[in-house]
Structure 1
Amino acid sequence: MREGKVVRDDRDAWSEAAPSADDENSFVEKNGWTEYSHWHLGIDKQEDPETKGAYSFPFGDFTRVHRAGVIAGESRAGQYDHREIRDALKKLLDLIDED
């Protein structure tokens, strides 16, 4: 965020900004699973770490953090009682909004 790699979009923009399945596949092929995991706050250790099913709560498009993605993730984390993820996304949203 300090490098300006944040899109300060509105809540409803995430459905258009979120990477498509093809975008995800291309990113993994080029950058690997570890880099893919860095764009997600949820990691399911019971899943194979080399599958998309192991990762949840994306917040960016692999180049920039999206405010809309952070808001969407925070809301979903709250719905499913993932408190740590919800709280981390809330802190991230606060950082985005204070700039």
Structure 2
Amino acid sequence: MEWKLFADLAEHAGDRRVTVDAGPGETVGDALDALLADRPALADRVLDEDGSLRSQINVLRNGKDVGSQEQGLETELEAGDELALFPPVSGG
């Protein structure tokens, strides 16, 4: 499964696209854990001190925020899913 990372999250991960060992039948949370496992700088940016996803970080599966879906990070992955991680977005 491949993650697309944006803005400073890509900098913390070392790349804009990162492939992780997760696939159909696993969850978005499993894929996120795989992404963060060996990237402590990214984990510090994405997770709070309790190890929970920071509220301002957006996790998308196929263009939809998983936080607004019933299953959240427990959403099951399917073949062909696209995952993305966005930092807070502001503008004016």
Q: TM-score, normalised by structure 2?
A: 0.30
- Structure with greater strand share of residues: 2
- Structure label with greater radius of gyration: 1
Structure with more contact order per residue of length (Cα contacts < 8 Å, sep ≥ 6)? 2
Q: TM-score, normalised by structure 1?
A: 0.29
- Structure with greater helix share of residues: 1
